[in-house]
Structure 1
Amino acid sequence: MSVTTPRLALLGLFAALAFNAQADEVQVAVAANFTAPIQAIAKDFEADTGHKLVAAYGATGQFYTQIKNGAPFDVFLAADDTTPAKLESEGDTVKGSRFTYAVGTLALWSAKDGYVDNQGDVLKANQYQHLSIANPKAAPYGLAATQVLDKLKLTEATQAKIVEGQNITQAYQFVSTGNAELGFVALSQIFKDGKVTSGSAWIVPANLHDPIKQDAVILNKGKDSAAAKALVQYLKGPKAAAIIKSYGYEL
């Protein structure tokens, strides 16, 4: 027994050292709408693989500019499918690594209980002073919001009331702080485990805007990164899928 115990401890130490030697860090550019899900996924990813996930959050269009200017990201989780496809066509990504990791849902939300009805009629009533949306030129959820307003023939009526955030996080903050009575946000920002977590919301029907297909891709900087490859595989797995769905995304 006195021989076996130290030997087992030594084997455990060697295994831990080998695990840490293989561990790597992956720098990820994450669309702002996916902040909460990736934070939850990161905990499991790091525990299961030993790799460390370091995330930056922002608007997809802004990330495109940063990546083109040499930003040190290994993986890009965009809020659309067109930006990763564009980077792919321009030779900035690892060939064959792009895939759709989630399909987003748009919601009209107010921090006030009962303010937004489940048909979105509050928009047509036009009794509010400010409507928050993300910058449609940089954020796909902002573009989707403008498409909804156009479909409902409310573009002109709401033009003077729009408060524009740089990304979907800022659009959400305008509403959560009361600077706007309501706004278009990502459902994932206000939804967990099958229900809206605060305030009141209208889940916008998908036929009122283009599909918000969110693609991931390994960038050239991550082509030799074991952690980048591991993250992409992990996002396709059952643990990540369960978390993604819990925040109101489709797969």
Structure 2
Amino acid sequence: MQRFLSLALIAMACAAGARAGEVQVAVAANFTAPMHAIAAQFERDTGHRARLAFGSTGKFYAQIRNGAPFEVLLAADDETPARLDKEGQAAPGTRFTYAIGKLVLWSTRAGVVDAKGEVLRTGDFRHLAIANPKTAPYGAAAVAVLKKLNLFDAVQARLVQGENIAQTHQFISTGNAQLGFVALSQVARDGRIASGSGWIVPASLHEPIRQDALVLARGRGNPAAQALLDYLKSAKARAIIQSFGYEM
């Protein structure tokens, strides 16, 4: 009887392994920390493994158009997924908003950034870091904020651009820029800034940073791809996303 049960358990494990799959995922750099946590939980709960690549949404768009083997895209905006959908580069009907991002003006040093971002007007800094506004939606949002505050011309000479939001965060964390605009998810835990000083930018100062996900054309026949998108809508994933300061 014990031998029969052992064989049955082995058979069940083999069947589960056969059903488990792998999915290649392009992830916006701002979503790095939450996606690592979600991918680990996703594998534990479903057996599917998500292979993650992180970078700027604009560059991912170019790579996908040039045949990169991604099966799912988690973008930092809603325009890029909509464009891929329209161009036939995605599985129809899979696009949805998985998070709404928040922009923060941040410094590693306490007391540098005040609660209203007035440091931008006083100019008490040498360099202000932003992500490349041409390829990174958070960079575009940062430029929109500076223009809305009529400060873009005043600070333009002091801007340093990261290739993506991850490199922008690195510029600030290493001290190469005294402050800069990053995603709240990069510096927050439970929706609050964990270290340094920061100003969470009011949403009224820029267009909403709606972050859309979709299954790409290459992932259309991969059950793990759709399983990942379904998992992003689950209570477990949503709790992780919100813990990093995103809205839903």
Structure 2 matches for 1:142-157, cutoff 5 A?
142-157=139-154
> Does the alignment pair 1:181 with 2:178?
yes
Residue 200 of structure 1 aligns with which residue?
197
Q: Distance in 1 between matches of 2:8 and 2:199?
A: 56
Q: Does 1:246 align with 2:243?
A: yes
Counterparts of residues 158-173 of structure 1 (less than 5 Å): 158-173=155-170
Name stretches of at least 5 consecutive residues in structure 1 with no aligned partner. Answer: none
Q: Find the aligned partners of 2:191 and 2:166 in 1 and give their Cα distance.
A: 21
TM-score, normalization: structure 2? 0.99
Aligned partner of 1:25 in structure 2 is: 22
Secondary structure (helix, strand or coil) at the match of 2:44 reads: helix
Conservation of the 8 A alpha-carbon contact between 2:99 and 2:211: yes
2: CA distance between counterparts of 1:46 and 1:242? 17
Q: Does 1:99 align with 2:80?
A: no
Q: Distance in 1 between matches of 2:207 and 2:164?
A: 18
Matched, 1:109 2:129: no
AA aligned opposite 2:142: A
Letter in 2 for 1:92: Q
The Cα shift of 1:79 comes to 0.2
**Count, aligned residues:** 248
Report the alpha carbon displacement of residue 194 of structure 1 after superposing the two structures with TM: 3.2
Give 1:171's aligned amino acid.
Answer: T
- The residue number in structure 1 matching 2:127 is 130
> Is contact 2:191–2:246 with CA below 8 Å preserved after alignment?
no
Deviation string for 1:4-35 (max 9, x for gaps)?
x2222111111100000011110000000000
The question of 1:119 aligning with 2:116 is answered yes
In structure 2, the partner of 1:46 is 43
Which structure 2 residue ranges, 5 or more long, are not aligned? none
Deviation of 1:214 (Å): 0.2
- Amino acid of the residue matched to residue 6 of structure 1? R
**1:195: how far off?**
2.1
List 4+ stretches of structure 1 deviating above 4 A: none
C-alpha distance in structure 1 between counterparts of 2:63 and 2:155, whole Å: 32
Equivalent residue, structure 1, for 2:85: 88
Deviation string, structure 1 residues 115-153 (Cα, Å, up to 9, x no partner)? 111111111111100000000000000000000000110
How far is 1:94 from its partner?
0.3
The alpha carbon displacement at 1:112 in A equals 0.4
Aligned partners of 1:138, 1:78: CA distance in 2, in Å?
11
